[in-house]
Structure 1
């Protein structure tokens, strides 16, 4: 689906009447009669149906040159709306074109008296789109038109900018002696900065979807069309704002930020209207740091780092990953362009002299961790070149990270259908607000004094205390504590669990029962999330899964919270 605008139109209406002042791109107008004549076969014979009933065939108003089939007079009549439709969303569909705008009223300023006493003018910046444009695309263009209207109203009040520009445009139209308004538009484009801004706006929307201009060389206008902006790094995928919101709402402190451009490029790009805290965060950036560590190093609050991360992701300048470390499992993406004719092969060789992309990817034909590639006897930590290679392949979406999920399967048919009184405790939802002032906190014990940290490599504090329980050594007492810990489990399930030797250890059984009650073993939480929420070390969690492997099934897949940036099947 094409999301670029067909045309940008500027219409005014005041006491002197309404008029189309400028449109870009401007093409020669051809009437429907002319188009119908040129498309009609002169040798075609009329059929009986044509003689009995003449049907009007809709004529497309979209061509390679942009919007056609509408004269300037028709467009000015359509968009010079009444006062009742001002300062609100305006949407009109004509044949295969949809027009979207936000008509704005402004008080004209008299430069001689410096008072707003010359009347009221309607200014309407209209975007023409394909009629098939989605609701989210229409919403984005309406927001852009509204923001432009607010800026123009401010500039008119400050220095009479609109009055000056409209007078110049009207003079150019009056001086034009030809029916082809393209000549007048050429003059307007040379003399009026507003027309030049509209041209730049249109070109940016069609090329990158990112707009960074200054209207009247004074007020910055920054806008991102995410459906277009993300296409450069997600080839063939249409990313809707709702998809980005789902990802951002699932952000956790253990996630990390992966920039898609060099840091200096982002600093230069955001210099137009950048936040000092953004530059401060980028100075401490590393894909091997999680967001909590990045916030600490940048001396910023975690909430503010989340906000800056959301900004970079929305503007297609970064994606969300897990911190690159030796325990991460990677495999080749299902849609990775690994053909020998792929341009990425030459790019990889340029970035890594002497390197071969196909050979580097072959290491991950099966899910493989960096620790498995590195020889622990020669070099216990991954080599810097290997880390850089992994980061490069993640930036180009050649690799995906797999996470381990756990499914509770106490019987051959899964969870028992027997009704029981067990109530799962709801864990913090994956869609908690990224801008909220509180985040899901890991479980803590009294011995930890309320402190908890998340390390760079997802190796969480290796201490976890369970409440001390004293049991007698007799078989009856052993059976009693087992029954007590699993009192709310169905009999069919508890019977299978009691067959596991690990139930002889009360601490292991208590931890298993607690995690099961909280719903961590329903396939909705991967190991890293369980470790964070319950403050568990990886080694203890892996040992527990191994001890109860008779009733727990593990499998590896992508994290759906961030899979939109790597898996084509997710969108």
Structure 2
């Protein structure tokens, strides 16, 4: 796995020279030179023609997930950089290994010439590591350098630790100790070496580093590419993906903690945010982020920031608030085989309840109202909600939302090309909470139909607007108006047609065949939602309800009345699906 470090190396440089003080893991170095490159006769000369015809195989410095083939003296000379290169990113590639660090200068004005000049903690990674992984490890090296510099200025901690490590190295020269024994002895006596070992173990095991350097300065770090793999099942999640997911947050979304609130109080102590504790006190997966912000007396923007913080650290995920109308189905890649550990975990959380039996009801999309019938007691309903929360926390269920597609004719709705959409007036564009949607009509006949609509409007204006006396005498005008008579039904039909003037002719014809089009309120709401782009399969029902301030019953009734030109389908919300 390319996100795990191969090794962590500690190097110091000063007036007395540079030295590799500690590295972990400290297994014995192995000669990794390919066997085919060894010469049987050390005095034999290499033939240039043979080297050209059979190039040397690439040399690897990775063996069993660890760094090998590079001596400590070479590493020391590589990482003990000059003073001009301090306090900036260090990156070096050697064969198939990439070294990343941030050399930190520790010398201040109060120190003499014999004091430390540089301390450098370097992470050895696979050369194929992505740019985001390299960036994260550089950030960790920089944080460690800042903490160590603070402790050096406060209590000369680094001077004490390096002196102890150098003494052990010097004693090993007289005692003929092996390198592995030297590093083991350093690990037993030096707290800095123990901190480095803990950092390595945490990065390889969980991806979250939570330590105190010198039992004083807390250091917390998250490697998102590692910490999110427990539910992504081996897929690498980049920080840019998380940022893109968090930009899709909406006030109607909800926060789902992946751990009990009591277990997160230790996490909040490092975070140091009192507003996070207030949010935890009012937390409920049944509340939207907007409701949670009101109950916690926190601004909505700050709730978004806290949610982003928890999601980045894999402490929470984003869902739609749990309610009776939510419809769930089993996640396609849910680990529900017979030997799954989740079965035992579910039995411990809910004694006497079988996970396979409960989740079987969601083989087909099922809403909570369908599963929780009227015969359920209050305690049974509460337990059902808790089981749904547990399944969502372990990514066993996915919620399905209803999307709407406007299909006015047998040939469907043809959308305009990218070049034509640039000419759409700004009045046809709606911006709500950062969501841009536009109503575009049929590609080829759109301009023709719009021209017909404008001509229809001009005809109507010619009929009802009086012309000047120079063009038409007052007597003739009165007689013409007297000859024009409309029934009340025709006037209402004329008003309805004005609501759909910007619709193509074939679409208006199909809509007016629907009995509900005789109701001006229903037709007005239908036309408004259609113009704003809500019937293009990009907005689910819950989002339309929030953006347009509509009740669910009101929207569902409208869909039922205009079902001849609307189709509905159910799928997951892409904004939430990205968190899975």
Candidates 226, 239, 242, aligned match of 1:241 = 239
1:185 is displaced (CA, Å) by 1.5
1:209-262, Cα deviation, whole Å (9 max, x unpaired): 001111122111100001111122332232221222122111122111111111
User: Which deviates further from its counterpart, 284-293 or 219-228?
Assistant: 284-293
1:148-195, Cα deviation, whole Å (9 max, x unpaired): 111122222222222222222222211112373222222221222211
Which residue does the alignment assign to 2:70? 70
Which residue does the alignment assign to 2:471? none
Find the aligned partners of 1:384 and 1:78 in 2 and give their Cα distance. 62
2:135 matches 1:151: no
Note the residue ranges of structure 1 that are not aligned, 5 or more in a row.
Answer: 433-471, 567-571
Candidates 540, 546, 552, aligned match of 1:538 = 552
2:26 matches 1:26: yes
2:432 matches 1:428: yes
1:473-504, Cα deviation, whole Å (9 max, x unpaired): 72332232222212222223222222222221
Q: Secondary structure at the match of 1:168?
A: helix
User: Which deviates further from its counterpart, 48-57 or 282-291?
Assistant: 48-57
2:382 matches 1:384: yes
Find the aligned partners of 1:129 and 1:271 in 2 and give their Cα distance. 31
1:382 is displaced (CA, Å) by 7.3
Candidates 510, 521, 545, aligned match of 1:496 = 510
TM-score (norm 2): 0.83
Find the aligned partners of 1:47 and 1:544 in 2 and give their Cα distance. 85
Alpha-carbon contact 1:502-1:548 (below 8 Å) kept: yes
TM-score (norm 1): 0.84
1:324 is displaced (CA, Å) by 1.1
Which residue does the alignment assign to 2:448? none
Q: Secondary structure at the match of 2:490?
A: helix
1:307 is displaced (CA, Å) by 1.8
1:64-111, Cα deviation, whole Å (9 max, x unpaired): 26111110111112112233332222222211111111222222575x
CA RMSD of aligned residues (A): 2.9
Candidates 135, 139, 154, aligned match of 2:135 = 139
Q: How many residues align?
A: 520
Note the residue ranges of structure 2 that are not aligned, 5 or more in a row.
Answer: 437-485
Find the aligned partners of 2:290 and 2:551 in 1 and give their Cα distance. 18
Change (3 A) 1:179 1:367: same
Find the aligned partners of 1:339 and 1:323 in 2 and give their Cα distance. 29
Highest Rg: 1 or 2? 2
Find the aligned partners of 2:186 and 2:321 in 1 and give their Cα distance. 52
Change (3 A) 1:564 1:197: same
Change (3 A) 1:149 1:381: same
Which residue does the alignment assign to 1:217? 215
Find the aligned partners of 2:199 and 2:215 in 1 and give their Cα distance. 14
1:426 is displaced (CA, Å) by 3.0
1:263 is displaced (CA, Å) by 1.2
Which residue does the alignment assign to 2:256? 258
- The structure in which a higher percent of residues are helix is 2
Find the aligned partners of 2:233 and 2:435 in 1 and give their Cα distance. 27
Which residue does the alignment assign to 2:88? 88
Alpha-carbon contact 2:10-2:23 (below 8 Å) kept: yes
Find the aligned partners of 2:109 and 2:282 in 1 and give their Cα distance. 48
1:547 is displaced (CA, Å) by 1.5
1:32-58, Cα deviation, whole Å (9 max, x unpaired): 45x63799999xxx9999587452222
Find the aligned partners of 2:530 and 2:283 in 1 and give their Cα distance. 37
Alpha-carbon contact 2:15-2:113 (below 8 Å) kept: no
Which residue does the alignment assign to 1:282? 280
Which residue does the alignment assign to 1:468? none
Find the aligned partners of 1:478 and 1:424 in 2 and give their Cα distance. 25
Q: Secondary structure at the match of 2:87?
A: coil
Find the aligned partners of 2:18 and 2:382 in 1 and give their Cα distance. 65
Q: How does 1:462-501 map to 2 (within 5 A)?
A: 474-501=488-515
1:381 is displaced (CA, Å) by 10
1:291-329, Cα deviation, whole Å (9 max, x unpaired): 222222223222222222111111111111111110000
